[in-house]
Amino acid sequence: MNNIVDDDERVNKNNTTTILKKENEPNPLGLTTTMVSSPIEGEFVNGAVTPPIKDGEQQQQQQQQPLTKVESFNNTNTTTTTTQPIKKVVTESKSTKFTCKITNFSQKTSQFYTENYTLWNLTWRLYIFPKGNNSDKDMSIYLDLSEIKQNNVPSIKTSFTVEIMNQKNPEKKVRKTADHTFDSRSGDWGFEKFIEIATLNDPEQGFIVNDTLIINVEIPYVYSISGGIATYDSKKVTGFVGLQNQGATCYMNSLLQALYHISPFRQAVYELPTSSEEPTKSIPLALQRLFFKLQFGDKAVATKELTKSFGWDTLDIFTQHDVQELNRVLCDNLNDKMKGTKAEGTIDHLFRGKIKNFIKCEKVTYESKSDEYFYDLSLNVKGCKDIIHSFDKYTEIERLDGSNQYFAEGFGLQNANKGSKFLSFPPVLHLHLKRFEYDPVKDENVKINDKYKFPEILDLSRYLDVDADKSVSNVYILQGVLVHSGDLHNGHYYTFLKNIDGEWLKFDDDEVTKSNFERVSENSFGSDFGVRTSTRDTNAYMLVYFRETEYERLHKPILESDIQPHLRSRIEKEENSANEQNFNIRLTVDEDFSNHKAFDLLEDDKFPIKTFKKSADVMTIGHLKKQITSLLGIPQERQRLWSWTMRRNKTIRIEKYPESDENTLQSIKAKMPMQGDIRLHLEIAYAPRTVPTTDNALLFPPMPRDRDSYALVFFKFYDPETKTLSFMGSKVIDINAKASYYIPHLNQLVKLHPTTHLLLFEEVAPTKINPIRPCDTFNRLEIVSGDIIVFQKLVSSPNNYSLPFATDYYNYILNNTIVKFKQIDNSSVQFSLELSKQMKYSEITAKIAATIKANPENIRLMCNSRFETPISPIKPNDNIPLFDMLTSANRITNQLHFEILNIPVKECEFKRNFKINWKPSSFGLNHNENEIVSVWVHKLGNENEIIQEFLNSIKNDSRYQTQSGITDATTENNENNNENNVNSNNNNNNSLENINENNIRIVEIRGCKISRILKEDSISTLGESSILRAEPVQSDEIELKDNEKIVQVVHFSRDYGYNMYHGTPFSFLYKPDETTQSLRSRIYEKLSPSGLSQKEFSRWKIAIIRYEKADYLQEDGTISTIDWSSNHFIGLEHPNVNKSHHQQKAIKILG
C-alpha cells in the first residue's frame, strides 16, 4: 500500500516544470531550462509527481487539481557539486547526524544553503526558505544531496529527520521525518510547511536565541539504487525479511511479524503435526511455512498460502480489518489446533492474564466478585496523556449511588464501589489502544489522533490486587509497536519491533529497515499540541510488552534442527523444483491492438499472457524465441522482440531499441520495477519467402550500426464519418525521411488512392496530439521507436462533422466516460450511460430520469467507497462536475449509486432523513417481510415528527389501505434469523386504522441494544444513520400495574470473557415476582412466530444484566423486584448464528 503523507508535505523545493533537451542537442552552459508552472499530471514516484516528459516537448497541464507534492529538476547553476566519486554500495558510517547553527538568522531574508556536511561519504546541506516557499506563513526546509547531480551516479534511498531545537525548552523541539530516493530529477526533498514563521520568530517560544537557530539532521542509513532497482537487501542489512502485501493485508503483515518475534509462539507453531496436510487447507502448515521462510529466506515472503488456508476470497484480501480482531481469531484457532499436541497450552501461557471485577457495598458486608481471563487489554486514548493514565482509568473506582445504587441480594439498594484489579499479567502483554471511537456529533466512528506516550520500561505492580502473586515480576519491556497511518476508511499498518539485541527495526510490508526509539515515538505517539503543525494521523494502535524477567526466553533463537524434518525437506524440494517451473510473459503482437479505440495501443490490464517453460538456468531472448516458434509457428529469424515501458508522461510504449538475443530475461525485468512482470512486443517480419533468411538486414531493417536512423512506429486511422479510431499496423521508418514520403503507404493501409491528401498527427499523450507537417522529417519531430502516428483524410467541410479531426476525437474520449449506475435498495436496476466528465449534477439526474422514467428532482446521487459501495450523498451542486464525483478515496471509479427519494433532493438541505425498520405482520397486517420506511423531517423538528411521518407513510401505502382486521401473525413463514424477527400474537388493537402514536413505539438501536425510545426530544442528537425500529405497543403495556416496567430484551454471547451483543433487541413487559418459567414462556411467545423451535429456545440461558454483569436465572426460581435502570436489561445468551450478516464484516478463519 502507498504510505500516507502528512499535510505538511515532504516535497521538492521548486514545484516547477522542466523543458528537457534532447541528449545530443548542444547545451553549452550545461543547464536545464526551468519555468514556473501550475501543478501537472504525471507519474507518481515515491509519493511525488514527475512531469510527463517526452524528449523536446514542453509539458501541458491536464487537470486543474492541486498537487502539492511535485518533483522537479534542479537548476544546476545554483548547485555546487563535489568531485568525490560515489561508491556503488554505500558503506556504513559511524556518524549519522549533523548540526547546523545559523547565526544572524534575522538577516536571512531569502532562501539560502547552509554549509556542507559529510555523512555516509556523501555531501549534504539544507536549503532553507526563511520566508516560506509557496506559503508566506510557514518556513520551508529541504535536504540537498550534492553528488546526485553528477553523471552516472546511482539514486540514493534514505530516511532523514530534520529537527529545530527549542533552546529554552528542549522538549518542545519540532521534528519531521521523511523517506525519499534522491536522483537526478529530485536532488532535494523536505518540508514545505515545517514551522509557522510567527511561532519561529516569537522570542517567547525559544526557537531563536541570540539571533541563532539550531537545526539537527539525522540520516540513519543510505542505500544505492542502480538502474531503477533498489540494491537494498533487508536480509543483509537487518537480518530479517518482510511480507508481501496482497492488496490490503498490511494489517495482517504487521501482526504476523509481531507474533513471529515471540520465540515460544513460533516454536509452538513449528511443533504442530502437519506432515500429511496441504498448506492452502491447513492454517498450521501455512503458518509454519511462512515462519520458516521468514527465518531462513532472503526475500519478502508471500502470504497467499496463509490467506487461502483462512478461506479468504478476493474481497477479504482487499478489506482492511482490525488487528486486534485478527489476533484474537487467529490465536483462538491455533489454540484449538494445539490441543492434544506438544504445543498445548502455549497460547494461554503466553498471552492470558486474569482480572478481578468487584462491586463492594459501603455500609453492609456484601461484595460481588467475578474473575475473568483476558488475552489483550483495550485502553482508552481519549482523555489520557499516556499509558499510565490509561491503566489508572481502567482500574478507577466507580461509585454507585443515588439513582444508580447497586441492588445487593438480601440488602436491597446500596451505595457501592465498582472496579477492577489485576490478579496476574501474562509474559506477553498485548495492549490495544482505542484509536477509533464513536462520535455522537458526527454519528460515526472517528480516529483519535491525540498524542499518547508509552515508555520502554513499564511497571504494572501498582495495579495488582492484594491477593495477586507478588513473587512474579510485573516490569515489562516494550517489544513492539503496531502503527496505523490514515483514517477510519483508508490507512496503512506497519510495525516497529526489537530484535534479540534490543535494536529497533521497522517492518513495512516487504521492506525491513533499521530504526531507533526516537523514530518509534515520532511515528507512534500521535499529534502534539502547542506549536502549529499539520494534522498527524500516524500513531500507535497496538503495543507489545515482554516481561523483563522472561525477555531472553521470549527471544530465544530457534535453530533449524529444532524444526520438524518434514517441513524442512518439503520446502527444500520446492526450492529445488522451482527452476523447472513455468513462467508467464505478457507478449503482444500487432493483432492485439486491433480492438483498442483509445489512447496508447492497449490498456494496461489487457496485455495477453503467454506461458513459457524455463529451459535454461539463465533465460535469454534467444531461448524465448525458440519457444515462440513452437508456440506460434513463427521462425526465429522473423522475430524481433521489444520491451514495453511506461514513459514519464504515463503513456505505454515500446523501448527505443529492440532486445538482442543475448539479453537475459532477468535484466529485462530489472528495467520494469513498476510493472512487476516482463512485457514484450513481438515484431514479425512479413518479407517474401524468397528473401534469404540469413540476411537479417532484409528481414529487419535497420542494420545494427544504423539503428539510430530507424524507428518502429505504429499507425492509427481516424474516420470522421464513423467517429472511429482504428489500429492499422506498424512499420520501421527512416527517421531522416519526410513525413510525406510515407503518405502512399498510409493510403495503401486504408485502401485509398496513393495521392489522397492526409492529415498527420503524433499521439504524444492524452492531452497532447501534435499536428505533423508533411514537409517535416521524423528526425526533426524527434520520432523514436514506439511512437504512434495518427492519420485521416483531409476534411473539406468540417462543419458537416461533429468530430471532424482526430484532435476532436481525442478530446471527446478524454472528456467523456461510461458510467455504471446502480439504484440503492433495488439491485435489479443497473445501467450504463456515456456522459461528459464535465456534466453537472442536474444534467446527470435528468439522464437517469429519462432512462428509468422517474422525476429527476427526486434522484439523489451517492459517491462510492473504495469497494464500490455507496457511502454518502453528493450535494446537488451544479458546480461539481462528474469527474470530481467519480474521484473518491484517492481513486477514480466508473460507478455511481443513486436513490429515488419521496421528496425533491433540494429539500434535503433543510431536512433530515431517517430509515425505520418495521414488520407489518407484527401490526396485524398480512405482510410477512421486514421493510424499511424512509421519512424526512425538518432539521429543527423533534422525534415525535418522525413517528408522525412514519404513520403517514404506511397509511398512504396502497398495499395496506385495503386491509382491515387482524391477520394471525403465526401464519408468517419461518425464517432463519431467529432473533431478528420479533412479533407478538397479541395484536388485538393493531389493524391499520387503529395504529396511532399511542400504540406505536419507535426505538433507536445502537450496539444491538435499545439506546432510547423516541418521544418529543429534539432530533439534533439523533444521527441519520441511526438504526430505528417500529414496535407495536400491546394493550397490557399501555396502563402498567404497580412495579411493572417496559424493559428491553437483548441477545448476547460470552466471547473472550465479556458480553458480545448481537441480533435485534425488543421491548418487553416486566412483571415482578414472576416465575422464570412464566417469563421464558412469554419471551418464547414473542419469538416463536419467527420459526424458533421450542427445543432450540430451551438451550438459551436467561439472565438479568446489570452493568454488563450477567446474573443467570434459576429455571425453577422466581424473579424478585428489580430496580430497573438504563443499564439493566434481560439477556438471552445463545450463539450468534448470523455473524456473516453484520454490516461490519467480521474476520473469518475457516481452516
In this structure, the answer to whether residues 215 and 78 fall within a common structural domain is yes
CA distances from 1096 to 939, 1084, 1091, 1092, 1100 (A): 45, 11, 10, 7, 7
User: What is the spatial distance between Cα 919 and Cα 925, in angstroms, rounded to a whole number?
Assistant: 9
CB-CB contact of 534 with 457 (8 Å): no
In this structure, the answer to whether residues 885 and 931 fall within a common structural domain is no
DSSP code per residue over 832-869? EEEEETT--HHHHHHHHHHHHT--GGGEEEEEE-TTS-
User: What is the spatial distance between Cα 305 and Cα 135, in angstroms, rounded to a whole number?
Assistant: 50
User: What is the spatial distance between Cα 727 and Cα 718, in angstroms, rounded to a whole number?
Assistant: 9
CA distances from 764 to 56, 792, 810, 886 (A): 12, 17, 11, 26
Rg (the chain; Cα; Å): 35
Say yes or no to pLDDT of 36 above 60.
no
User: What is the spatial distance between Cα 1050 and Cα 998, in angstroms, rounded to a whole number?
Assistant: 24
In this structure, the answer to whether residues 1009 and 1046 fall within a common structural domain is no
CB-CB contact of 479 with 517 (8 Å): no
Say yes or no to pLDDT of 1082 above 70.
yes
Q: Please indicate whether residue 45 or residue 464 has the higher confidence score (pLDDT).
A: 464
In this structure, the answer to whether residues 788 and 750 fall within a common structural domain is yes
Say yes or no to pLDDT of 422 above 60.
yes
CB-CB contact of 199 with 207 (8 Å): yes
Q: Per-residue pLDDT averaged across 31-59, rounded? A: 30
Nine cell digits for residue 671: 528495467
In this structure, the answer to whether residues 916 and 1000 fall within a common structural domain is yes
CA distances from 1100 to 73, 1010, 1031, 1087 (A): 71, 20, 23, 12
Handedness of CA 1109, 1115, 1118, 1124 (dihedral sign): positive
Q: Please indicate whether residue 927 or residue 362 has the higher confidence score (pLDDT).
A: 362
User: What is the spatial distance between Cα 148 and Cα 182, in angstroms, rounded to a whole number?
Assistant: 7
Q: Per-residue pLDDT averaged across 634-641, rounded? A: 89
In this structure, the answer to whether residues 245 and 213 fall within a common structural domain is no
Say yes or no to pLDDT of 83 above 50.
no
Range of lowest pLDDT (65-74, 221-230, 348-357, 936-945)? 65-74
Residue in this structure with the C-alpha cell 457501592, named with its chain if needed: 416
Beta strands 416-424 and 353-361, pairing class:
antiparallel
Q: Per-residue pLDDT averaged across 588-609, rounded? A: 88
CB-CB contact of 914 with 1025 (8 Å): no
Handedness of CA 116, 118, 122, 125 (dihedral sign): negative
CB-CB contact of 139 with 109 (8 Å): no
Say yes or no to pLDDT of 1120 above 50.
yes
Say yes or no to pLDDT of 526 above 70.
no
pLDDT band at 1121 (very low <50, low <70, confident <90, very high): confident
Q: Which of 773, 804, 835 is the last residue of a domain?
A: 804
In whole angstroms, what separates CA 1045 from the centre of its chain?
Answer: 47
DSSP code per residue over 883-950? HHHTEETTEE-SEEEEEE-SS-GGGGGGEEEEEEEE-GGGGT-S--S-EEEEEEEETT-BHHHHHHHH
For 264-323, what is each residue's pLDDT tens digit?
999 999 999 888 778 778 888 999 999 999 998 888 898 888 888 888 766 565 565 678
In this structure, the answer to whether residues 651 and 798 fall within a common structural domain is no
In this structure, the answer to whether residues 96 and 202 fall within a common structural domain is yes
Q: Per-residue pLDDT averaged across 522-541, rounded? A: 56
Share of the chain above pLDDT 70, in %: 78
In a domain, 446, yes or no: no
Range of lowest pLDDT (800-804, 923-927, 1073-1077, 1082-1086)? 923-927
In a domain, 334, yes or no: yes
**Residues belonging to the active site:** 250, 492
Which residues have a Cβ under 8 Å from the Cβ of 482 and sit 6 or more positions away? Answer: 254, 255, 258, 323, 493, 494, 495, 540, 541, 542, 543, 544
In this structure, the answer to whether residues 931 and 822 fall within a common structural domain is no
Say yes or no to pLDDT of 610 above 80.
yes
* Residue 74: domain span: 10-18+67-232
Residue in this structure with the C-alpha cell 545559523, named with its chain if needed: 102
User: What is the spatial distance between Cα 873 and Cα 856, in angstroms, rounded to a whole number?
Assistant: 15
Q: Which of 662, 693, 724 is the last residue of a domain?
A: 693
User: What is the spatial distance between Cα 347 and Cα 284, in angstroms, rounded to a whole number?
Assistant: 14
Q: Please indicate whether residue 1127 or residue 898 has the higher confidence score (pLDDT).
A: 898
Provide the 3-class DSSP secondary structure of residue 459: strand
The enclosing domain of 174 has a CATH number of 2.60.210.10
Say yes or no to pLDDT of 747 above 90.
yes
The enclosing domain of 745 has a CATH number of 3.10.20.90
CB-CB contact of 422 with 463 (8 Å): yes
In a domain, 355, yes or no: no
What is the pLDDT, as a whole number, of residue 708? 77
Q: What are phi and psi of 748, to 5 degrees?
A: -65, -35
In a domain, 758, yes or no: yes
In a domain, 774, yes or no: yes
DSSP code per residue over 753-774? -TT--EEEEEEEETTEEEEE-T
Q: Which helix (H) or strand (E) holds 179?
A: strand 174-182
Q: Please indicate whether residue 532 or residue 734 has the higher confidence score (pLDDT).
A: 734
Q: How many CB atoms within 10 Å of residue 305?
A: 21
Range of lowest pLDDT (164-168, 174-178, 839-843, 857-861)? 174-178
In whole angstroms, what separates CA 497 from the centre of its chain?
Answer: 22
pLDDT band at 525 (very low <50, low <70, confident <90, very high): low
Nine cell digits for residue 735: 527517421
Share of the chain above pLDDT 90, in %: 32
Which residues have a Cβ under 8 Å from the Cβ of 27 and sit 6 or more positions away? Answer: 21
Q: Which helix (H) or strand (E) holds 479?
A: strand 475-486
β-bridge partners, 36: 16
In a domain, 105, yes or no: yes
Q: How many CB atoms within 10 Å of residue 909?
A: 9
Beta strands 212-226 and 511-514, pairing class:
unpaired
pLDDT band at 975 (very low <50, low <70, confident <90, very high): very low
Q: Which of 677, 693, 709 is the last residue of a domain?
A: 693
DSSP code per residue over 571-640? HHHHHHHGGG-EEEEEEE-GGGGTT--SSSSS-GGGPPEEEEE--SSS-BHHHHHHHHHHHH---GGGEE
Beta strands 1027-1032 and 911-918, pairing class:
parallel
What is the pLDDT, as a whole number, of residue 229? 38
Which residues have a Cβ under 8 Å from the Cβ of 606 and sit 6 or more positions away? Answer: 592, 596
In this structure, the answer to whether residues 680 and 822 fall within a common structural domain is no
CA distances from 397 to 360, 384, 388, 432 (A): 10, 16, 16, 22
User: What is the spatial distance between Cα 804 and Cα 798, in angstroms, rounded to a whole number?
Assistant: 5
CA geometry: angle 235, 239, 241, nearest 5 deg? 50
User: What is the spatial distance between Cα 6 and Cα 791, in angstroms, rounded to a whole number?
Assistant: 47
Q: How many CB atoms within 10 Å of residue 851?
A: 13
In this structure, the answer to whether residues 98 and 173 fall within a common structural domain is yes
In a domain, 399, yes or no: no
CA distances from 585 to 301, 576, 681 (A): 22, 22, 10
What is the pLDDT, as a whole number, of residue 888? 59
User: What is the spatial distance between Cα 214 and Cα 219, in angstroms, rounded to a whole number?
Assistant: 17
Say yes or no to pLDDT of 112 above 50.
yes
CA distances from 58 to 61, 763, 768, 1100 (A): 10, 15, 10, 74
Say yes or no to pLDDT of 917 above 50.
yes
In this structure, the answer to whether residues 928 and 896 fall within a common structural domain is no
In a domain, 512, yes or no: no
Task: Write down the pTM of the prediction.
Answer: 0.48
Q: Per-residue pLDDT averaged across 49-68, rounded? A: 32
What is the pLDDT, as a whole number, of residue 832? 92
What is the pLDDT, as a whole number, of residue 991? 61
User: What is the spatial distance between Cα 23 and Cα 33, in angstroms, rounded to a whole number?
Assistant: 14
Q: Would you tell me the crossing angle of helices 263-271 and 323-338 to the nearest 10 degrees? A: 50
Say yes or no to pLDDT of 425 above 80.
yes
pLDDT band at 529 (very low <50, low <70, confident <90, very high): very low
Domain count along the chain: 7
Please report, as a single letter, which amino acid is at residue 758: L
Handedness of CA 222, 224, 230, 234 (dihedral sign): negative
First to last CA, the chain: 27
Nine cell digits for residue 462: 501498582
For 189-213, what is each residue's pLDDT tens digit?
888 889 999 999 999 999 999 999 9
Residue 222: closest CA among 87, 81, 80: 87
Nine cell digits for residue 693: 533468411
User: Reading across the β-sheet that carries 768-772, which strands appear in turn?
Assistant: 724-734, 710-719, 788-793, 758-765, 768-772
Range of lowest pLDDT (16-25, 674-683, 720-729, 928-937)? 16-25
Burial zone of 300 (CB within 10 Å; 0-12 exposed, 13-18 middle, 19+ buried): buried
What is the pLDDT, as a whole number, of residue 23? 34
